[in-house]
Amino acid sequence: MSGLSSKHLLGIKSLIPEDIELIFQTADNFKEVINRPIKKVPSLRDLTIANLFFENSTRTKLSFELAEKRLSADVINFSASASSVKKGETLIDTVNNILAMKVDMVVMRHPNPGAPIFLSKHIDASIVNAGDGAHEHPTQALLDAYSIREEFGIVKGKNIVIVGDILHSRVALSNIFCLQKLGAKVTVCGPPTLIPKYIESLGIEVEYRLDSALAKADIVMMLRIQLERQGKEGNQVNYFPTLREYHQQYGLTMERLDRLNHTPIIMHPGPINRGVEISSSVADSSTSIILNQVENGVAIRMAVLYLLAS
């Protein structure tokens, strides 16, 4: 297979396993490139890419920008908070104005689920979804699965437990689709109020007790509580009594890991809330691959942009 099956990357759900394998093989080549003294290749030197961020980001925004620059693309950055969106301009008008400046590809993060799918029906340029509300975050899931493949050599057959705010997590949904397409076994764990009722219909297991979930995990993926999507006011939390109680029930601590008779790999997409879903001693431990995930994000995003451009 020489190209992806779609001109956009809108979500993992619409990818075929061959797409994922091609992205991984291409990322292997780019990972070698970014570890060279000269980290740049001319692959996209004729392309202009717009990064449109309608929602805050640290890792994804910087990682895409670095990936684009490593591929020699011209890059423009747009942040909704400093734009004419504040004056009432619509999404389609904003994007069409940017495309009129001869932009070839759009990377977009948006708080509304489905915004990149909607946009793909109205513009010709390729779109990469950099996270749309609580829907999908495809490049995060790709870099997560790639990091698991790097750690174990294979994703198929591994037991992955995703812990936390599954209800509001685009990372969880994209990872469920991606890991299942690669043959892994996925379990989600969290308070019943933060596990969607439909989730078992996706063919995954649900555990409400963290210690039971950890007992079978090769990999533990911890998620942040997304207070900004929970209708939170001040310090109030709406889906469980207190953050302190959440930490007691679902926080990953060294004491919990020490009770296991095996050593799972620890992952987190970031941003981390230390002392809530994960203790600092676990986040910074030798079995944590959190910073490897960030490093792999650049190679995966280079691969996605390169394959969509070709």
Residue ranges binding ligand CP (CB under 6 A):
57-60, 131, 137, 140, 269-271
How far apart are CB 245 and ligand CP at their closest, in Å? 26
Q: Is 113 exposed, middle or buried (0-12, 13-18, 19+ CB in 10 A)?
A: middle
How far apart are CB 63 and ligand CP at their closest, in Å? 8
How far apart are CB 241 and ligand CP at their closest, in Å? 27
Q: How far is CA 184 from the centre of its chain?
A: 17
Residues ≥6 apart with Cβ < 8 Å to 301: 63, 64, 67, 139, 143
CA-to-CA separations, 38 to 32, 35, 193, in angstroms, rounded: 11, 8, 49
Comparing CB distances to ligand CP, the nearer of 143 and 213 is: 143
CB atoms closer than 10 angstroms to residue 45: 11
Comparing CB distances to ligand CP, the nearer of 26 and 129 is: 129
For residue 241, the cross-strand partners are none
Comparing CB distances to ligand CP, the nearer of 53 and 306 is: 53
Buried b vs exposed e over 134-172: b needs ≥16 C-beta within 10 Å?
Answer: bbbbbbbbbbbbbbbbbbeeebeebbbbbbbbbbbbbbb
Q: Which residue is nearest to ligand CP (CB)?
A: 60
Decide if 277 contacts 225 (C-beta within 8 A): yes
How far apart are CB 64 and ligand CP at their closest, in Å? 9
Comparing CB distances to ligand CP, the nearer of 26 and 139 is: 139
Helices 59-70 + 17-34 axis angle, to 10: 70
Decide if 88 contacts 40 (C-beta within 8 A): no
Structure tokens at 12: 């993992």
Residues 204, 187: Cα–Cα separation, whole Å: 6
Comparing CB distances to ligand CP, the nearer of 67 and 207 is: 67
How far apart are CB 137 and ligand CP at their closest, in Å? 6
Comparing CB distances to ligand CP, the nearer of 17 and 271 is: 271
How far apart are CB 186 and ligand CP at their closest, in Å? 18
How far apart are CB 293 and ligand CP at their closest, in Å? 8
Comparing CB distances to ligand CP, the nearer of 70 and 137 is: 137
